[in-house]
Amino acid sequence: MRVAVLGAGAIGAYVGASLCRAGVDVHLIARGPQLRAIRESGVRVRSPRGDFAAWPHATGDPREVGPVDHVFLGLKANQYASAGNLVRPLLHEKTSIVAAQNGIPWWYFHGVPGEFSGRRIESVDPGGAVSAVLPPDRAIGCVVYAATEVSAPGEIRHLEGTRLSIGEPDGTISRRCTEFAGAMVAGGLKCPVEPELRRDIWIKLMGNLAFNPISALTRATMAGICRHAGTRGLVVRLMEETLRVAAALGVRPDVSIERRLAGAERTGEHKTSTLQDLEKGKPLELGAILAAVVELAELTGVEVPAMRVLNALAGLLGEQVAGA
């Protein structure tokens, strides 16, 4: 099995190193200091579960790799539309694209029956720009529960969790999913194939939608947001609104708001990925996390007043970052 990891950052390099450890033919596509470090010293993983190193092939040019069986996308969702030149050399007729993204994926209404079947979500697939690069029939959804960070070029610090749930948009248990999941498990990760992956998407989104934009607007950590009575109350309202939108689309996440809050508090003084991007001057990945859910609320007629206010503030912040 040949796997290309496009975007060998914190999650991409961690998954690539794990697959390499399982004997998979892995190719990391990276750039800059990260690429140089991996070429010189491989990927070094520091983890409470045990440190390890792996030496996958690394390149900045996907044409050196050629077609593979699976492309693991470690890019942010707001980079997908511009990734065509990187993705195309990696595809053959049956190549799958395992998209490890936060928020609502571009393929959300692909492969499902009902009134919204095949509908495009403009916030994540404007004008079909993402679908043109990443055809939905190639997509395997992926919800990441592992927390990692790049502690130095070529070095990944694994903080917690090893689960990456995957699933077909149409809910089937496909051969390509079980093949990829088997390799992930052989590399030391948890990779359940979920027939109802959208439920996982909404469970994670409950936290991302509330904490990520609030953290960027306030510079507060997860624990800090939970400690402050005002923002804690806002998080609860946002989670309630998120659950109402999910229910309107026929998804009922089997997790309580109290449990999600407790999980956030346990992470302690952790900066969300959006806050980390803000501090680095990078574009904010809030289209799929927040704007898309507001769009889905409009589509289903669900009232989301707190979410609308937050989306307006986050949208202005995103414009300021982009124009800086």
Give per-residue burial for 126-160: e unless 16+ CB within 10 Å, then b.
eeeebbebbebebbbbbbbebbbbbeeebbbbbee
Q: Residue with structure tokens 């990443």?
A: 134
Q: Are 134 and 106 in contact (CB under 8 A)?
A: yes
Q: In Å, what is the CA distance from 243 to each residue of 157, 171, 309? A: 32, 21, 17
Query: Which residues are part of the catalytic machinery?
Result: 204
Contact 228, 220 (CB under 8 A): yes
Amino acid symbol at 107 = W
Task: Name 134's bridge partners.
Answer: none
Q: Which of 70, 55, 27, 11 is nearest to 189 (CA)?
A: 11
CA-nearest of 112, 127, 164 to 143 is 164
CB 275 within 8 A of CB 215: yes
The amino acid occupying position 35 is L
